Amino acid sequence: MKRWKVAFFVLAAINLVTFVLILSFLFIPTNVGVEEEKKVNVQEDGNVPFLIRTQKTDLTNLINHYLEKEAQQENLQYSVDLQENVYVNGTIKAFSKDIQMKLFLEPVVTDNGNVQLLVQELSIGQLKLPISYVLKYMNNFYELPNYVVVEPNEKRIQINLDEVTFENGLSARAKSFDLKNDDITFTLFVPLP
């Protein structure tokens, strides 16, 4: 009978431990399904960053809308097409004539979120002109926003996004501008009220 007595107490102990474990699992608080409070990532300047990812077609439409509405110049009309590179097509007025202009640019994002447009090819009419000469002409005779810097000797156009703040306080920095893989990402900074 001694064996049955030991087996009974072992089985009773197993049942008791199982019962205590079930009760403890029921009454111990858990984090499953409860979302932890997340801290808003506020920058030192009081802005909250949002990562914005877009596609070439959407950004092309936005740029051309902006150019149509905001950047009207009497003697320079142009549009932008984002494909493998940035293509700028337009007309310039010279000698009271409209002359076709084509510009092929390669975008590069700098460490501080600005965009450099490296000029690969430039033609006016049927002529392929020296890039530095035409960029110097553009810099001298066209009114560009102060955040757009034309660097003729380096054959590039610098877009200093860190100098642009919109009326509503929004600002942006480029994170990636890879047209071949359609990976265009910006960080949009929204000011807190």
Q: Rounded to two decimals, what is the model's pTM? A: 0.70
Task: Domain ranges for the chain, please list them.
Answer: 47-191
Question: Which residues pair with residue 103 across a beta bridge?
Answer: 88, 122
Compute how many other C-beta atoms are within 10 angstroms of the C-beta atom of residue 109: 19
Read off the pLDDT of residues 73-94 as tens digits, 9 standing for 90 and up: 555 677 899 999 999 988 877 7
Does the pLDDT at position 51 exceed 70?
Answer: yes
**Mean pLDDT of all residues in 22-26:** 64
**Mean pLDDT of all residues in 133-152:** 85
Does the pLDDT at position 110 exceed 90?
Answer: yes
Q: What DSSP assignment string belongs to 5-50?
A: HHHHHHHHHHHHHHHHHHHHHHHS---TTPPPPPPP---TTSEEEE
Read off the pLDDT of residues 146-190 as tens digits, 9 standing for 90 and up: 888 999 999 999 999 999 888 888 889 999 999 999 999 999 998
